[in-house]
């Protein structure tokens, strides 16, 4: 038994469970691993987040904060934060992704998720976002957008971006992100999409929406999570549902300057899509996980649509020069060794 396995065994036993009841669940794109414990009707989920790669304390903090707001995040049943081990309430298997695949109404699920955001964003910023939450500031947004420049571009061109080309990219994004920085901050969960949302049939109202994968939460612009929900890297949201949810959100928020919100939505969409293309490429080239490459064509379509907004004209011009349409494709799996 490895040292890590022994640590997990001891943690599970101390929490009142038997390790032999542990069954692996699907992993994700991070270093975290999940397993389910089931014993005589009891169920729980083990999060194994090796501390040399992950820090579980933000997850614990945001989970408790969301619960205090009346929303459904998994209860923390046991924790060894130093070891990176958490035992969590098991929300079951009814992710929005699975429900959609089984024919559940797309509109109903997206309405529930949108209403969660409306509730959060109507709260005073100091209530919605706990004190000390990292800021989703211009520097952080820019660094994420540059993941495309640093990982995807060399994957499809065979050469790194020049210093001048990268500097031009930075300048173009700074012009666009300055607009976003004018918006008041709120709690941004950052990975708010159907893979991380669950329907909890035994709960009513907004609590019927189970929330997962929020450990990277920040204080930032409200448009981000709505954009993340409606411009999903992993599935096509039907245009009528997207437009209906945008209108539902805007009407509920009684937004005075809808043009400013639309511009922020487009800028943040372009930023996220650039980041995701970069991350999916990095997962392939650095981590040997090519499974995410199949989503890149969809994310390019979303990015190209966002770039049509006038607020992104400098960014669009940079893309036309350095990554013209012929280079906007899925990197070849055979290119993996080039990134090592």
Domain regions of the chain by residue span? 3-89, 96-339
3-89 CATH choice from 3.40.50.12280, 3.40.190.10, 3.30.200.20, 3.60.70.12: 3.30.200.20
Cβ atoms of residues 295 and 234 within 8 Å: yes
Q: CB–CB of 241/107 below 8 Å?
A: yes
Q: Which two tokens stand for residue 25?
A: 């669940």
Q: Based on the number of CB atoms within 10 Å of its own CB, is 295 exposed (0-12), middle (13-18) or buried (19 or more)? A: middle
Q: What is the pLDDT along the chain (340 residues), one digit of tens a residue?
A: 578 888 999 999 999 998 877 888 865 556 789 999 998 889 999 999 998 888 999 999 999 999 999 999 999 999 999 999 999 999 999 999 999 999 999 999 999 999 999 999 999 999 999 999 999 999 999 999 999 999 999 999 999 999 999 999 999 999 899 989 988 899 999 999 999 999 999 999 999 999 999 999 999 999 999 999 999 999 999 999 999 999 999 999 987 789 999 999 999 999 999 999 999 999 999 988 899 999 999 999 999 999 999 999 999 999 999 999 999 999 987 544 444 3
DSSP for 103-145 reads: T--HHHHHHHHHHHHHHHHHS-HHHHS-TTPPB--HHHHHHHH
Task: Decide if domain 96-339 falls under CATH 1.20.1440.230.
Answer: no
Topology agreement, domain 3-89 and domain 96-339: no
Record the tokens describing residue 231, joined without a space.
């411009």
């Amino acid at each position: 038994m490895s040292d890590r396995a022994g640590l997990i065994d001891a943690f599970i036993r101390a929490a009142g469970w038997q390790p032999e009841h542990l069954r692996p669940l699907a992993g994700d794109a991070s270093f975290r691993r999940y397993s389910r414990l089931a014993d005589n009707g009891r169920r729980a989920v083990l999060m194994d987040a090796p501390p040399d790669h992950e820090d579980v304390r933000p997850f614990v903090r945001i989970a408790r904060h969301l619960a205090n707001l009346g929303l459904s995040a998994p209860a923390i049943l046991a924790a060894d934060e130093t070891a990176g081990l958490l035992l969590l309430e098991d929300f079951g298997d009814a992710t929005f992704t699975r429900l959609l695949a089984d024919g559940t109404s797309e509109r109903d699920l997206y309405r529930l998720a949108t209403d969660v955001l409306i509730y959060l964003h109507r709260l005073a910023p100091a209530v919605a976002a706990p004190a000390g939450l990292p800021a989703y500031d211009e520097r952080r947004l820019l660094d994420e957008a540059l993941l495309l420049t640093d990982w995807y571009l060399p994957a499809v061109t065979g050469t790194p971006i020049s210093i001048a080309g990268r500097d031009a990219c930075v300048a173009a994004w700074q012009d666009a992100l300055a607009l976003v920085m004018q918006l008041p901050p709120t709690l941004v969960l950052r990975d708010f999409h159907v893979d991380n949302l669950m329907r909890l049939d035994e709960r009513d109202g907004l609590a019927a929406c189970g929330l997962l994968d929020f450990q990277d939460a920040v204080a930032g612009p409200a448009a981000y999570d709505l954009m993340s929900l409606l411009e999903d890297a992993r599935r096509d949201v039907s245009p009528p549902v997207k437009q209906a949810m945008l209108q539902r959100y805007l009407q509920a928020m009684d937004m005075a300057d809808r043009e400013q919100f639309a511009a922020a939505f487009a800028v943040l969409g372009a930023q996220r899509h650039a980041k995701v293309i970069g991350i999916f490429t990095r997962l392939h080239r650095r981590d040997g996980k090519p499974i995410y490459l199949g989503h890149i064509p969809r994310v390019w379509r979303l990015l190209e649509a966002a770039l049509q907004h006038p607020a992104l004209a400098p960014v669009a011009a940079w893309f036309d020069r350095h990554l013209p349409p012929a280079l906007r494709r899925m990197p070849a799996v055979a290119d993996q060794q080039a990134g090592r």
